Amino acid sequence: MGIFSRLKTLVSSNVNDMISKAEKPEKMLNQLLMDMSEQLIESKKAVAQAIADEKKLEREAQNQRALSQDWERKAMLAVQAGKDDLAKEALLRKQEHDKAYGEYKKQWEAQHASVEKLKESLRELQNKIEEAQRKKNLLIARAKRAEAQQKIQSTMSSIAGNKTAFDAFDRMAAKVDQMEAQAEAVVELEDYTSNASLDKRFAELEDSTHSADTMLLELKEKMKALPDKT
């Protein structure tokens, strides 16, 4: 099971390294999938080697069993030939191969159990990698959306926090309002001055006309009061 522990260590190391370097999620996910795929290939090779070792142990166990059966057959032939000493030698050989068969069989069974666990772990690992590949695009889309929201929020915070620029803009707007009001006041004053001058001229004219009439009347009254010299 060591190959899968190495894979877990490798993936954890890569994740921590990428996060500490603040890598973009898309780049990080692609790299993680690449690492997992490469390690999956290595794991398959290791499992294949374990299976080959199992097959080798199985063949050796079967070979020892066949040799045991062959020496047993030879012992029977010796007994039939009346050669008990030779039969005993054959049986001792058979015993050696029986013992070797038992040992190989035990190792083969243990290896077989380990291989089955490795196969199951390999299937789980491959399923997880396939699931990660399916989720990758969704995770990248979510990451990009989150990044866009952060940029928008940062921009809004920057605008809201830039009070100096807004204050200057408001002061300039007030100044423009004041300039417009002053311009309107000048025009209004000029109109008022022009109208006042015209009114004054007519008033003076009326005053002068009124004075002449009065003086004429006064002259006539004065002349009426004079003695008639005719």
> Which residues, 6 or more positions from 174, have their beta carbon under 8 angstroms from its beta carbon?
none
pLDDT winner (highest mean) among 113-117, 195-199, 210-214: 113-117
Rounded distance, CA 175 to CA 201, Å?
A: 39
Angstrom distance (rounded) from CA 170 to CA 178? 12
Q: Is the Cβ–Cβ distance between 32 and 135 less than 8 Å? A: no
What's the farthest any 2 CA atoms get from each other in the chain? 217
- Residue 96 pLDDT > 50, yes or no? yes
The residue whose two tokens read 């990044």 is 147
The more confidently predicted of residues 18 and 158 is: 158
Q: Residue 74: pLDDT above 90?
A: yes
The pTM score is 0.52
Task: Give pLDDT, residue 160.
Answer: 63
Q: Output 2 or 227, whichever has higher pLDDT.
A: 227
CB contact at 8 A, 10 and 35: yes
Least confident among 45-54, 123-132, 189-198, 217-226:
189-198
pLDDT at 40 over 80: yes
Instruction: Indicate the range of 174-178, 187-191, 195-199, 206-210 predicted with least confidence.
Output: 206-210
pLDDT greater than 80 at residue 204:
no
Q: Is the pLDDT of residue 141 over 50?
A: yes
Mean pLDDT of 107-126: 93
DSSP-derived 3-state class of residue 159: helix
For range 48-70, the mean pLDDT: 95
Extract the tokens encoding 45. 């090779």
Provide the mean pLDDT of the chain: 80
Other Cβ atoms closer than 10 A to 212? 10
